[in-house]
A and B are shown apart, each in its own frame.
Chain A
Amino acid sequence: MDVTSLKISDMREMLDKKEISAAELTSEYIKRIKEFDSKIESYITVTEEIAMEQAKAAQAKIDKGEATALCGIPLAIKDNICTEGVKTTCASKMLENFIPPYNATVMEMLNSQGIVMLGKTSMDEFAMGGSTQTSAFKKTKNPFDINCIPGGSSGGSAACVSASLAAGALGSDTGGSIRQPASFCGVTGLKPTYGRVSRYGLVAFASSLDQIGPIAKNAHDCGIILNAVAGYDRHDGTASKKETADYTSKVGKDIKGMKIAVPHEFYDKGIDADVKASVLSAIEKYKEMGAEILECSMPSLKYAVAAYYLISSAEASSNLSRYDGIKYGHRSEKGDTFGELICNSRSEGFGEEVKRRILLGNYALSSGYYDAYYGKAMALKQKIVKEYADIFEKCDVILTPTAPSVAFEINENVTDPVKMYQADICTVTVNIASLPAISTPCGYNNSGMPIGMSIIGKHFDEATVIQMADAFEKQFKTAAPLIK
């Protein structure tokens, strides 16, 4: 049996029953990474030595009967989450040699569980993109077809889970960066409610929208990882003090009578026919399972991409001002004055897409444009929040496609920023409204490329979102990519 194809819940059982040791499990993954990652390019850094040491420590806990849910489970971490002593590059030349002097809170929480960290995964530079092709180091490929993108920005995390190069992974989601790559790579990705998971140690892109979350082979596994990383953190002023729940508690529970809202704007023009057909077919499945479907409307959706890019770029332009080549990050060899050194360091360190976002953010915040762009975007945010609140008065969850299309070929759209931005239409409102949402596979097109659907929940109701995804997954046959 290939243990790397198993779910985290099954691995836990095998580890606890001593059918496999943590070291053996880790070795299987390292072997696979060495064999296949040269094709997929999902990892920027593989931490083999650390992984084997952690496996040894995890085994000691297991042997003592002290294992927690993730003890000895090999996971991958997106390369924008700070890992003490291990390079955290954000897939940018700016942070090519940055070694964090501290751990992100999520890493402290995972380490206290005794996880095995296999390495740091590739991403779009500073999480800005939906293809992982703006990475300065590893331009990750889709395991279902290496000529296609894996999505992004957490493309490395989604691809490595899909290719069984990690049992699960952490990603981050600012406008769909967990859900869209999960959809493209045929795995499950959960964006928790804003504030549910600490952002301390997550390299900031847009602070009011960023959220760390899990990517795994199914919703149950996402719940197991979320259980380990959710909770209040005094280091993050936006972390919620609301009590955490057991996010796996509703797994396997009947969904009869649950109300699913379907906003018709998400199914209008711009959504590929095969995507629409698969999601509509999933809706029929939910009906068969006893769920009630309610049609509804989200009129502001047509403005969502503009609102998202204005807000996120405004925040990014401010957040990225910290990179001056002096405190940390790339330092230019050229520059006789303080000002020249900063300009040269930033110009050499940042890639094209990051520079574009800085320009856009500066434009949105500039005198004379602020009210027309940033002010309007913030007004739209309020409208979108209200529209979601109104819909949630009548339903338990909302169901939409995760992306308008399946993964497309490398270089097909990635050089056209406008096309790339518009492709975020299905995911950005969730971040704008701070809601939790999960993407899970619901079909495959004629070429075998995965199609994902998103289940959006009420604030802090991740347990129901996981329940709904799990119910569908239990009667849907997923395909694994064939990697040669």
Chain B
Amino acid sequence: MDLEMVSYLSKLGKLNFTEEELKKAAEDMTSIINIMDTIKDFDIAYDPFADNKNVYLKDLRVDESEPSMETEKILQNSTNSNNCFVVPKVVE
């Protein structure tokens, strides 16, 4: 796998890599993809209907609103102020 591809994948995953880390990741990913490529020998297509045959949509939980967790509890693991999550300024 080339550096350009790894760089693209890291961008998708919102991850920063140094140049050295990127090279190491490309080497690792090349070896990993070699194993994954064994799957290409396998000549069969996925049948989505086979996986869904036991799905019964009528058995779902009733859609009823219920009290949610207290805001204080939800915010306890975050940087927050006035009952809101704090983020860097988004609008210029």
Min distance, Cβ B80 to any Cβ of chain A, angstroms: 10
Q: Is B13 an interface residue (CB 8 A)?
A: yes
Min distance, Cβ A100 to any Cβ of chain B, angstroms: 8
Contacts of B15 in A (CB 8 A): 343, 346-347, 350, 355, 358-359
Contacts of A340 in B (CB 8 A): 88
Contacts of B76 in A (CB 8 A): 99, 101
For residue B41, which residue of chain A has the nearest CB? Answer: A303
Min distance, Cβ B26 to any Cβ of chain A, angstroms: 10
CA A366 to CA B39, docked complex, whole Å: 17
Q: Is B38 an interface residue (CB 8 A)?
A: yes
Contacts of B17 in A (CB 8 A): 347
CA A338 to CA B89, docked complex, whole Å: 7
How would residues 314 to 326 of chain A score, 1 for a CB under 8 Å from any chain B CB and 0 otherwise?
0001000100101
Contacts of B33 in A (CB 8 A): 363
Min distance, Cβ A104 to any Cβ of chain B, angstroms: 14
Band of interface residues on B: 35 or more
How would residues 12 to 24 of chain B score, 1 for a CB under 8 Å from any chain A CB and 0 otherwise?
1111110000000
Interface contact B69-A356, CB-CB below 8 Å: no
Contacts of B37 in A (CB 8 A): 306
For residue A101, which residue of chain B has the nearest CB? Answer: B73
Interface contact A376-B40, CB-CB below 8 Å: yes
For residue A415, which residue of chain B has the nearest CB? Answer: B28
Among A332-383, those with CB < 8 Å from B are 335-344, 346-347, 350, 355-356, 358-360, 362-364, 366, 372-373, 375-380, 382-383
Interface contact A383-B44, CB-CB below 8 Å: yes
> Out of A234, A306, A342, A422, which one reaches B14, CB within 8 Å?
A342
Min distance, Cβ A205 to any Cβ of chain B, angstroms: 15
CA A162 to CA B19, docked complex, whole Å: 43
CA A329 to CA B78, docked complex, whole Å: 7
> Out of B16, B36, B44, B90, which one reaches A373, CB within 8 Å?
B36
> Out of A327, A382, A417, which one reaches B51, CB within 8 Å?
A382
Interface contact B13-A317, CB-CB below 8 Å: yes
Q: Is A328 an interface residue (CB 8 A)?
A: yes
Interface contact A329-B39, CB-CB below 8 Å: no
Contacts of B5 in A (CB 8 A): 363
Interface contact B61-A234, CB-CB below 8 Å: yes
Q: Is A305 an interface residue (CB 8 A)?
A: yes
Interface contact A307-B39, CB-CB below 8 Å: yes
Interface contact A335-B36, CB-CB below 8 Å: no
Contacts of A99 in B (CB 8 A): 76-77
> Out of A303, A321, A359, A417, which one reaches B9, CB within 8 Å?
A359
For residue A340, which residue of chain B has the nearest CB? Answer: B88
Contact of A422 with B50 at beta-carbon distance under 8 Å, contacts A98-B77, A338-B90, A417-B28 already known: no
Interface contact A359-B13, CB-CB below 8 Å: yes
Q: Is B3 an interface residue (CB 8 A)?
A: no
Interface contact A417-B32, CB-CB below 8 Å: yes
Min distance, Cβ B35 to any Cβ of chain A, angstroms: 6
Interface contact B44-A379, CB-CB below 8 Å: yes
How would residues 233 to 268 of chain A score, 1 for a CB under 8 Å from any chain B CB and 0 otherwise?
010010001000000000000000000000000000
CA A310 to CA B33, docked complex, whole Å: 10
Contact of A379 with B16 at beta-carbon distance under 8 Å, contacts A306-B36, A341-B87, A359-B10 already known: no
> Out of B12, B35, B45, which one reaches A421, CB within 8 Å?
B35
Interface contact B36-A310, CB-CB below 8 Å: yes
For residue B86, which residue of chain A has the nearest CB? Answer: A326
Q: Is A309 an interface residue (CB 8 A)?
A: yes
Min distance, Cβ B13 to any Cβ of chain A, angstroms: 4
Q: Is A1 an interface residue (CB 8 A)?
A: no
> Out of B32, B40, B60, B88, which one reaches A356, CB within 8 Å?
B32
Contacts of A364 in B (CB 8 A): 36
Contact of A309 with B36 at beta-carbon distance under 8 Å, contacts A329-B77, A358-B15 already known: yes
Interface contact A327-B85, CB-CB below 8 Å: yes
Among A98-145, those with CB < 8 Å from B are 98-99, 101-102
3 closest pairs, A vs B, by CB? A328-B77, A101-B73, A379-B46
Can you give 15 contacting A-B residue pairs, CB < 8 Å?
A: A306-B35, A327-B77, A328-B78, A336-B88, A338-B88, A344-B16, A346-B13, A356-B32, A359-B10, A360-B32, A375-B46, A378-B46, A382-B50, A418-B32, A418-B35
18 extra interchain contacts, Cβ-Cβ under 8 A, other than A306-B39, A362-B12?
Answer: A99-B77, A300-B42, A303-B39, A306-B36, A317-B13, A327-B85, A331-B78, A331-B79, A343-B15, A355-B10, A355-B15, A359-B13, A362-B9, A376-B40, A378-B46, A378-B51, A417-B28, A421-B32
